[in-house]
Amino acid sequence: MSRKMASYVLGFFIFVFSQSPWGRVANSAALPPLANLQVNEAHPGDNPAETTMAADPTDPKHFVAAWIELTDPTLTRGVIGYASTKDGGSIWRSALLGVPEFPILFDPSIVADSRGNFYLTCAAADINQQFVLLESHLLLFKSTDGGRTFFKTLDMPALDFSDKPFLAVDPATDALYLVWGDSLPGSGFRFSILFSKSLDGGVTFTPFQVISHQTGNADAEGAIPSVGPNGEIYVTFGNLNNRVWLNRSLDGGATWSSKDLVVNGQIKQPPRTLNGNIGNLEFAANAVDRSAGPHRGRIYVVWPDMRFDNPDILLSYSDDKGDSWSSLVRVNDDAVKNGADQFLPFVNVDASGAVHVSFLDRRSDPANVNFALYLATSTNGGVSFGPNVRISDGLHPPGSTGFVGDYNQPAIAAGRIHPIWADGRFGDFDIFSASVSLGDFDEDGVLNDGDLDGQYADHRCTGGQTTSCDDNCPGIANLAQTDTDGDLVGDACDNCPDVSNTAQSDLDRDGAGDACDP
Ligand SMILES: [Ca+2]
Ligand SMILES: [Ca+2]
Ligand SMILES: [Ca+2]
Ligand SMILES: [Ca+2]
């Protein structure tokens, strides 16, 4: 949430502290692959959105998620919703976290340390009925009981307005790194990026350092930290317009680059409000390869960009700690210039070095309103992405508020990725997740990389072959791998199953490929 948005969001308060009993959402015991699992407990009139999830390094089936729980239809009040699962995501137990002195909490970020403690940060604000900001703080909570309860360990007054804190942990040392936005005195209310760390499990934090160097009228917003294999700290942020920057510390946060490294300076920013009144704040995200694979240490950055005509997800990577950046990769694989919005990207790198980009996508709705969560995977270090897989179980509408959040952060553990997002399938927003096998998305027994050459979707099954080849429709179970037209796209996916069209272009997005759609 930006200050500009906050001035719109924070108004007409009648203070009500919100606290729900510990609720439970039980999903089906026998989960089909790619089942969508509700994470939140629905409260009438609520609008949860903006999600973050962390995995417990000591238990691969234990995850804790958090989101903003907007508790007023005018988006003027909110608490943090959070939930935990101990069975890999079929049963989630949720609760609300409120602080009496702050009518709205927002921008949650959650991480876990190597001992299974969870840390949750968020911004907090109070504002009067004339829309004047009375108080703004940065909060951090810790959970030592697996995400069942949280207690506050940090309550830091803002310089002006604390915005979008985000956390990272160095898994080798349990150092906790916190970044956020605020405006410095004399800056004319332009945001800078601030940094602080804790070396004692979130009990004490160092005085903040300013780590962004943008000049002129540029805001620096949307900071995301990550930690490289040798303890490097990388923080990306942008001006929410045409630039994404990176700053880094190679000494555990003591010193930072004296100037911001440009990840990309030619971004064409998608609209701030997408069709259907969906807020779209253009945050970039980053992740570092900590695997033992060939791209160990590579930094990946993703962001929304419409330079190719409409909002896409683009990626660039660096092998030299951010000094230089690769040429662009378009992550989403729908037809260029088809008018479909992709938005809210996040990137994770798994233990094998595969790169997973998740985002919201309207490619299958010609009206460009309803969306689904998609996953795009690269097994060649981000050089190219395989067939995008729809994780949502259909296209779903935005909720009544249009606030889908500014980010959705998945978690990976034990060979499975757990994307998390909000959609309005039940009317107002609810939070959903899925537990997705990284080796066999649809769990039909035909592996994504069935020929075991390390590359996803490079030798796809066809001609009756079902073994020693890569799944030809990796997001829909198709054990027979039938491919009538032999174009390497299985009939289960093929938008022209009788006409060879490997690229699957469908410019009018009606589900019939251009090759067979006169
Ligand atoms: Ca499969
Ligand atoms: Ca392969
Ligand atoms: Ca085919
Ligand atoms: Ca078509």
The verdict on 259 and 317 lying in the same domain is yes
Rounded to the nearest angstrom, the distance between the alpha carbon of 319 and the centre of ligand 3 is 37
Q: Is residue 444 part of a domain?
A: no
Number of domains in the chain: 2
Average pLDDT, the chain: 92
Grade residue 26 by pLDDT with cuts at 50, 70 and 90.
Answer: low
Whether the per-residue pLDDT at 213 is higher than 80: the answer is yes
Give the C-alpha separation, 495 to 187, whole Å: 53
Range 300-329 average pLDDT: 98
* Nearest in space to 18 (alpha carbons), one of 105, 107, 122: 105
Coil/strand/helix, residue 9:
helix
Q: Which ligand is nearest to the CA of 334?
A: 4
Q: Has residue 408 been placed in a domain? A: yes
Residue 25: what pLDDT? Answer: 64
Provide the CB-side half-sphere exposure for 19 (13 A, CA). 5
Q: How far is the CA of 370 from the centre of ligand 1 (A)?
A: 26
Point out the ligand nearest to the CA of residue 483: 3
497 alpha carbon – ligand 3 mean position (Å): 5
Residue 172's pLDDT is what? Answer: 97
In a domain, 231, yes or no: yes
Residue with tokens 């980010």: 407
Domain boundary among 415, 437, 459: 437
Domain shared by 408 and 457, yes or no = no
Residue found by looking up tokens 């795009």 in the block: 376
Give pLDDT, residue 471: 98
Indicate the Cα dihedral angle 471, 477, 479, 481, nearest 10°.
-50
When pLDDT is cut at 50, 70 and 90, the band that residue 438 belongs to is very high
334 CA distance to ligand 4 middle (Å): 12
The candidate with the shortest Cα–Cα distance to 442, out of 389, 382, 386, is: 389
- DSSP letter assigned to residue 491: T
pLDDT (0 to 100) of residue 214 = 83
**Which pTM value belongs to this model?**
0.94
Q: Is residue 335 part of a domain?
A: yes
Ligand 4 centroid from CA 514, angstroms: 5
**Same structural domain, 476 and 411:** no
pLDDT attached to residue 385: 98
For residue 460, the CA-to-ligand 2 centroid distance in Å is 7
pLDDT digits (tens, 9 = 90+) for 363-395: 999 999 999 999 999 999 999 999 999 999 999
Residue finishing a domain among 437, 469, 504 = 437
**Which range (6-10, 459-463, 468-472) has the least confidence?**
6-10
Of the listed ligands, the closest to the CA of 460 is: 2
Residue 346 C-alpha to ligand 4 middle, in angstroms?
Answer: 29
**Which ligand has its closest atom nearest to the C-alpha of 514?**
4
90-104 b/e with 16+ CB inside 10 Å = b? bbbbbbbbbbeebbb
CA of 505, nearest ligand number: 4
The Å distance, Cα 34 to ligand 4 centre, comes to 26
Q: What is the CA(385)–ligand 1 centre distance, in A?
A: 17
Same domain for 327 and 387? yes
- pLDDT at position 65 is 98
pLDDT tens digits for range 45-88: 888 999 999 999 999 999 999 999 988 766 678 999 999 999 99
How far, in Å, from the CA of 31 to the mean position of ligand 1? 16
Q: Answer whether residue 247 is part of any domain.
A: yes
Of 121 and 277, more confident: 121
Q: So what's the pLDDT on residue 72?
A: 77
DSSP string, 360-427: EE-TT-TTS--BEEEEEEESSTTS-----EE-SSS-B---TT----S-EE-EEETTEEE-EEEEEEES
Q: State the distance from the centre of ligand 1 to the C-alpha of 433, rounded, in angstroms.
A: 20
CB 129 within 8 A of CB 152: no
Nearest ligand to the CA of 494 is: 3
- Give the sign of the dihedral formed by CA 152, CA 112, CA 348, CA 488: negative
Quick check: 17 pLDDT over 50? no
Render 234-260 in DSSP notation, one character per residue: EEEEE-SSS-EEEEEESSTTS---SS-
The answer to whether residues 240 and 346 belong to one domain is yes
Ligand nearest to the CA of 468: 2
Considering every ligand atom, which ligand is closest to the CA of 506?
4
Would you say residue 243 has pLDDT above 60? Answer: yes
Q: 386 CA distance to ligand 3 centroid (A)? A: 16
Distance (Å) from CA 386 to ligand 1 centroid:
13
Q: 469 is in which domain, residue-wise?
A: 449-518
- Tens digit of pLDDT for each residue in 464-484? 999 999 999 999 999 999 999
**296 Cα distance to chain centroid:** 22
Q: Cα(464) to centroid of ligand 2, in Å?
A: 17
In the reported structure, the alpha carbon of residue 448 is separated from the centroid of ligand 2 by a whole-number distance in angstroms of: 7
Q: Categorise residue 307: left if φ over 0, alpha if ψ from -120 to 50, beta otherwise.
A: alpha
Q: Which of 422, 437, 431 is nearest to 375 (CA)?
A: 437
462 and 412 in a common domain? no
Residues 260 and 244: their CA atoms lie apart, in Å, by 9
pLDDT greater at residue 255 or residue 9: 255
Do residues 411 and 512 both lie within one domain? no
Residue 189: pLDDT band with limits 50, 70, 90 = confident
**Ligand 3 centre and the CA of 376: distance in Å?**
20
Length of the chain: 518
What local confidence, expressed as pLDDT, does residue 277 receive?
87
* Pair 304, 412 in one domain: yes
Q: Are residues 429 and 506 in the same domain?
A: no
Ligand 4 center from residue 110 Cα (angstroms): 41
For residue 476, how far is its CA from the centre of ligand 1 (angstroms)?
Answer: 7
Residue that is last in its domain, among 381, 409, 437: 437
Residue 217 is predicted with a pLDDT of 79
Query: From the CA of 510, how far away is ligand 4's center (Å)?
Result: 5
Alpha carbons 350 and 290: distance in angstroms, whole number = 8
Instruction: Say if CB 239 and CB 218 are below 8 A apart.
Output: yes
The verdict on residue 159 lying in a domain is yes
Distance 239 CA to ligand 2 centre (A): 39
Residues 455 and 428 in one domain: no
pLDDT top residue among 127 and 371? 371
Any domain includes 87? yes
pLDDT value at residue 19: 40
pLDDT over 50 (residue 20) = no
Same domain, 347 and 493: no
Three-class DSSP category at 140:
strand
What pLDDT, on a 0 to 100 scale, did the predictor assign at position 64? Answer: 98
Which two tokens mark 210?
């300013």
Among residues 245, 328, 240, 235, the alpha carbon closest in space to that of 280 is found at: 240
- The string of pLDDT tens digits covering residues 402-425 is 889 999 999 999 999 999 999 999
Q: According to the model, what pLDDT value does residue 22 have? A: 56
Q: Residue 294 pLDDT more than 60? A: yes
- Check pLDDT > 60 for residue 316: yes
- Considering the domain architecture, whether residues 265 and 365 belong to the same structural domain is answered as yes
Identify the CATH number of the domain in which residue 297 sits: 2.120.10.10
Q: Which ligand is in closest contact with the Cα of 513?
A: 4
Q: Which ligand is nearest to the CA of 518?
A: 4
443 within some domain: no
